[in-house]
């Protein structure tokens, strides 16, 4: 696991992560891949230190992000969180850029290792998506749906065995629900997770626009 000097290392899995009774095929699936993208939207893994850490920490403390992410943590805790994600098989943090300018943070996670697996027939290679737009002036201009659709297509391209991309925003987050629909995702229903009531959306591979 990468370490950031002076940052306490997380010793327990994410409270969302399922760690017991996993099927062998779920374990073998490994961490989610970095989406394979071409064009104006690019995605890269987050470094748990330096400028990347500063950017994620600043974005997570913005009011519109903190309201639904609920992770307006100190910089040191974010250093721990990003390092822990990068060191495990459950999730991977990434930054999204459009035309070279970084605009969003995403977390990709294996849905079969997450609490949402208890609410739909999860496949080992399904990938879940969390997204936070870090540039407030870009909100409401179609950026969210554009990123969701591009990332989903890039995941399908990167992992041929990935059958679905999942999104589970807070059920009260009407903007995220609208963006999910505009990205082509379908609502499976509202579900009770340990930390929130969520709207569970899915984008199956058969309806995704794969990158050329």
Element (H, E) at 131: strand 127-133
- Pick from 2, 90, 8: nearest CA to 52: 2
Show Cβ contacts of residue 139 under 8 Å, excluding neighbours closer than 6 positions: 64, 133, 175
Would you state the structure tokens that stand for residue 125, as one six-digit string? 């290679």
End-to-end CA distance of the chain: 34
Beta bridge partners of 26: none
The C-alpha atoms of residue 66 and residue 179 are separated, in whole angstroms, by 18
- Alpha-helix residue ranges (DSSP H) falling in 88-210: 143-158, 174-182
Q: What is the pLDDT of residues 125-151, one digit of tens each?
A: 999 999 999 998 777 679 999 999 999
What is the pLDDT of the chain when averaged over all its residues? 91
Strands 91-98 and 41-45: antiparallel
The C-alpha atoms of residue 119 and residue 190 are separated, in whole angstroms, by 10
Q: What is the pLDDT of residues 169-209, one digit of tens each?
A: 999 999 999 999 999 999 999 999 998 999 999 999 985 44
Model pTM above 0.85: yes
The dotted CATH code for 33-207 is 3.40.630.30
Percent over 70 (pLDDT), the chain: 91
């Amino acid at each position: 696991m990468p370490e950031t000097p002076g940052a306490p290392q997380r010793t327990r899995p994410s409270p969302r992560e399922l760690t017991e009774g996993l099927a062998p095929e779920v374990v073998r699936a490994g961490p989610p891949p970095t989406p394979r993208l071409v064009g104006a939207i690019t995605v890269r893994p987050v470094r748990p230190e330096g400028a990347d850490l500063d950017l994620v920490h600043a974005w997570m403390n913005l009011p519109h992000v903190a309201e639904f992410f609920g992770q307006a943590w100190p910089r040191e805790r974010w250093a721990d969180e990003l390092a822990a994600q990068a060191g495990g098989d459950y999730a991977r943090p990434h930054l999204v850029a459009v035309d070279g300018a970084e605009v969003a943070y995403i977390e990709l996670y294996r849905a079969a290792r997450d609490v949402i697996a208890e609410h739909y027939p999860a496949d080992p290679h399904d990938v879940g998506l969390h997204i936070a737009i870090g540039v407030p002036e870009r909100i409401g201009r179609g950026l969210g749906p554009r990123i969701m659709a591009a990332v989903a297509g890039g995941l399908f391209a990167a992992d041929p065995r990935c059958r679905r991309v999942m999104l589970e925003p807070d059920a009260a987050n009407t903007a995220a629900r609208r963006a999910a629909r505009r990205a082509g995702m379908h609502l499976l229903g509202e579900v009770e997770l340990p930390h929130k009531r969520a709207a569970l959306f899915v984008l199956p591979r058969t309806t995704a626009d794969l990158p050329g």
